[in-house]
Structure 1
Amino acid sequence: MAFVEPVILQGRGVRLEPLSLTHEAGLAAAAADGELWRIRVTSVPEPQDTRAYIETALAMREAGNRFAFAVLHEATGRVLGSTSYHDILPAVRRVEIGWTWYAKSVQRTHVNTAAKLLMMGHAFDELACHVVGWRTDNYNFASQRAIERLGARKDGVIRGHALRRDGTIRDTVMYSMRSGEWPEARAQLLYLLQRHALD
């Protein structure tokens, strides 16, 4: 049995479904909202590469090291983007959350906070993870701020760690949260979502 089994997570206006080829058109449309593939510090597929992007994610799921979700608007079913559990380590009960991107029109809304609350809750409360981690490009400052807003702590920087899409070599900023830190982080995320609902 896989450590991360197929599951649908939903609440607070978003629905996370296991990514499949049925999401191809919606995912391409989400990426086109802001031409996100032009950002050098992300892994968003160009429209013609969307199918290959999904097929790669499915192969990684089969291998047990990544489980990708399509993020949908709960009421309409519109695909807003994608996010994944990855670097899944069952022996130490650790997952990372990443490969996350959203259509430009829903960036800086409640969508990321709601999706991460669902994923963190599933990881800590259902999978009984000891640690949830994140990693991002050292130049992706928006991503770093978003991860820090979740309550994650910066572990450090791995220098010369990976290739960017333009062929340059990036440093990777690593973050994590331990299970004992989750109740306080959950309370803060619920507070932020409540405040957003009142805006």
Structure 2
Amino acid sequence: MDNWLQPTTLEGKRAKLIPLQKSHKTELLQAASDGKLWELWFTSVPSEKNIDSYIETALQNQADGTALPFTIIDKSTNQIVGSTRYLNVEAEHRRLEIGATWYAKSNQRSGLNVECKHLLLQHAFEQLKCIAVEFRTHYHNLASRTAISKLGAKQEGILRNHRIDSQGNYRDTVVFSILESEWSTVKYGLEHRLNKKY
């Protein structure tokens, strides 16, 4: 399973996901500055202070085989508008998580997230043959919890005191998943939403 997760490009009508590279630093910072996303205390969005370590960690995790980070491009403007990744990868069990996702504020609620999730889930279930895909979010990130539920993922539970954040606060993490057997129905729902958006 050493070659299970390889850098790849995923492309839809409006969204294009390309492998994260160090050269994306400036444009990623510009995207994060749209809405000063790093000020949201319950998310991890890069700022000027941590962009280098953010990229280094993502690329090191990729080298370790535990993550595959993407840069998100809005094809309508050909601009970088955010980032997402496969993470907590367990190749031997054909499981992974989709997370570390964020978008410039001007691209939120645009349909771009739905298309990105469709591309990532389709690749995970149809090419990688995953048996399950997880989503995790902060208990207090209600917008994220709602968005994950709308994808068709089911809540599995809450990991209480799961993490300690940079301020020393304890984070409760809400865990969702989509199973291999559920993918066809979830896919149909996502494609229906995309057809209405575009």
Place the TM-score, normalised by the shorter chain, in its bin: over 0.9
Counterpart check, 1:117 vs 2:118: yes
Alignment match, 1:96: 97
Instruction: List 4+ stretches of structure 1 deviating above 6 A.
Output: none
Tell me the TM-score normalised to structure 2 length: 0.97
Alignment match, 2:74: 73
Gaps of 5+ in 2: none
Amino acid aligned to 1:161: H
The CA distance in 2 between the partners of 1:186 and 1:21, in whole Å, is: 32
Amino acid aligned to 2:51: T
Please provide the CA RMSD for this pair.
Answer: 1.0
Report how far residue 45 of structure 1 moved. 1.2
The CA distance in 2 between the partners of 1:167 and 1:2, in whole Å, is: 37
The CA distance in 2 between the partners of 1:41 and 1:155, in whole Å, is: 20
Secondary structure, aligned partner of 1:47: coil
The worse-fitting range, judged by mean Cα deviation, of 84-93 and 49-58 is 49-58
Report how far residue 24 of structure 1 moved. 0.6
Report how far residue 165 of structure 1 moved. 3.2
Gaps of 5+ in 1: none
Alignment match, 1:10: 11
Per-residue CA distance 1:73-127 (angstroms, 9 max, x = gap): 1243201100000010011110100000000000111110000000000000000
Secondary structure, aligned partner of 2:46: coil
Alignment match, 2:30: 29
The CA distance in 2 between the partners of 1:74 and 1:6, in whole Å, is: 20
The CA distance in 2 between the partners of 1:163 and 1:67, in whole Å, is: 24
Report how far residue 164 of structure 1 moved. 2.3
The CA distance in 2 between the partners of 1:117 and 1:150, in whole Å, is: 9
Amino acid aligned to 1:35: K
The CA distance in 2 between the partners of 1:3 and 1:22, in whole Å, is: 25
Q: Share of identical aligned residues, percent? A: 39
Amino acid aligned to 2:101: T
Amino acid aligned to 2:119: L
